[in-house]
Amino acid sequence: MANIQKALVVPAKGTDFVVDAAFPIPVPGNDQLLVKTKAVALNPVDYFMQKTGMFVETYPAVLGLDIAGEVVKVGEGEVASKFKAGDRVIFPGGLGISEKNGFQQYAVADAKFSAIVPPNVSYDEAATIPLGLFTAYYGLYEAVPKGLGLTSFAGPDGVQAYTGQAIFIPGGSSSVGTGAIQLAKLSGFKFIITTASLKHTDFLKSIGATHVLDRSITVDELRAALKEIEGLPEIKYAYDAIGDLDTSFRLALEAVVPKGNVVTVNPRLVYDSPDKDGKVTSKFMTERSSPSGEAHMRNLWGDLTRLLETGALKGSRPEILPGGLAGIPAGLDRLAKQEVSGVKLVARPEETL
């Protein structure tokens, strides 16, 4: 096996991406896997990191946090020994850790955060899952003030603790929103109400949403729409999967009852107090490396293969970018301009010319 590969790199802070045809292939350490990157999905954080240097400590830097691929080498260690060459795996990249990221033809994965991709799921679909799903999971099940503090369905003590209850999730067609909808269904929620472009209604209902409202709905219109839902219990929980103070967050606050809980994906969102309008508000940045974040990750990833195999969890709909790694910059430009709706942009590094 060669020791160089093609990688899309940021040479220095704030510079444009460049395809490097002689970038070193990383070496897996203890309890790590070397994975041939079959598909990598794009996220807004990728262009923020490229433009601002956020989370990046060393250059040239490789980005890309949503990865699916084939194991080509297994490192030493008990956890890594559960995998073998040829396994199809899914795993999240590492913020600011180039060797773990997916804008390259080979990446290193932590075995403890890797899961087998079942045969019924393509690499392209699998690559849409890690970051959005874990963000959704963390926001739902992490304790206040970083999450809603729900009881997870996953893990040894998992239960469907919210049978018959209602949750509101503005931004349902985003990768975080689709993850939150599916996790809410697994947690037993009877009413899962979301907002999105109405062209995505059929897809969102197929993954668990019970009611899809137009994404441009106003607070007054939301109030009226909720009154029209027959049998709707009081909404105690809302998950703002967009993080806009003037739109999605206001809708989330409106939907829940006094003393209800609202979480937003925007970690920098500033609002009056943690108890706004008598409602408990949380904001977060997913913390996979924290003790609670690692526990959440283990619970979810330990059950992920089964959930994908049974169809209980699905990825976002992938849109394949042309040109392999070379197609990523144009895709990130589309994300920056908010020109992507209802799909996840995916690149196949091995298609790089």
The C-alpha atoms of residue 250 and residue 272 are separated, in whole angstroms, by: 12
Average pLDDT, the chain: 92
Q: What is the pLDDT of residue 159?
A: 75
Per-residue pLDDT band at 41 (split at 50, 70, 90): very high
Residue 283 has a pLDDT of: 63
295 in a structural domain: no
Residue 261 lies in a domain: yes
pLDDT digits 0-9 by tens, 92-112: 999 999 999 999 999 999 999
Q: Which two tokens stand for residue 267?
A: 């970690």
Query: Does 56 share its domain with 166?
Result: no
The domain of 62 spans 4-129+316-351
Q: Give the CATH number of the domain where residue 102 resides.
A: 3.90.180.10
Task: Give me the mean pLDDT over the 1-25 stretch.
Answer: 97
- Write down the pLDDT at residue 278: 64
Which of the listed ranges 145-154, 202-211, 259-268 does the model predict with the highest average pLDDT? 202-211
Please count the structural domains in the chain.
Answer: 2
Instruction: Work out the pLDDT band at 155, boundaries 50, 70, 90.
Output: low
Q: Are residues 244 and 187 in the same domain?
A: yes
pLDDT number for residue 175:
93
Q: What is the pLDDT of residues 182-240, one digit of tens each?
A: 999 999 999 999 999 999 999 999 999 999 999 999 999 999 999 999 999 999 999 99
Residue that terminates a domain, selected from 266, 283, 300: 283
Is 310 inside a domain boundary? no
Domain match, 167 and 125 both: no
Asked if residue 111 and residue 18 are part of one domain, the reply reads: yes
Predicted confidence band at 271 (pLDDT cuts at 50, 70, 90)? low
Asked whether residue 125 falls in the same domain as residue 136, the answer is no
Among candidate residues 283, 308, 335, the one where a domain is terminated: 283
277-300 pLDDT, tens per residue?
667 777 654 444 455 777 888 888
Higher-pLDDT residue of 114, 271: 114
